[in-house]
Amino acid sequence: MKISGNTKSETVSKKWEVTFEDEESVSVFKYNTDVSKNGPVSVEFRYKTGYKHPSEQKKKTIGELAKEARKQTRVKK
């Protein structure tokens, strides 16, 4: 006996965004089930005004750190 009926599964397209905000930036993850069911389709990072990237800050060399340490020990005496 054959069972007749609609065996075609319906897929529902869903689109949504998830937004995360912290002190330095706003991250927006966009999802679309038509494109990918496993992860976000796109991710946007928007940095707030006044944000300074860590690589833009100058790192001190060992010599500069040693000079500062000597100055601090001289001040304490």
Banded model confidence at residue 3, pLDDT cuts 50, 70, 90:
low
Cα Rg for the chain, rounded, in angstroms?
28
pLDDT reported for residue 53 = 77
Sign of CA dihedral 72, 73, 76, 77: negative
pLDDT reported for residue 57 = 65
Q: Where are the domains of the chain?
A: 13-50
Q: What is the pLDDT of residues 4-44, one digit of tens each?
A: 555 555 567 789 999 999 988 999 999 999 998 899 999 99
Average pLDDT over every residue of 34-59: 85
pLDDT reported for residue 1 = 47
Average pLDDT over every residue of 67-77: 81
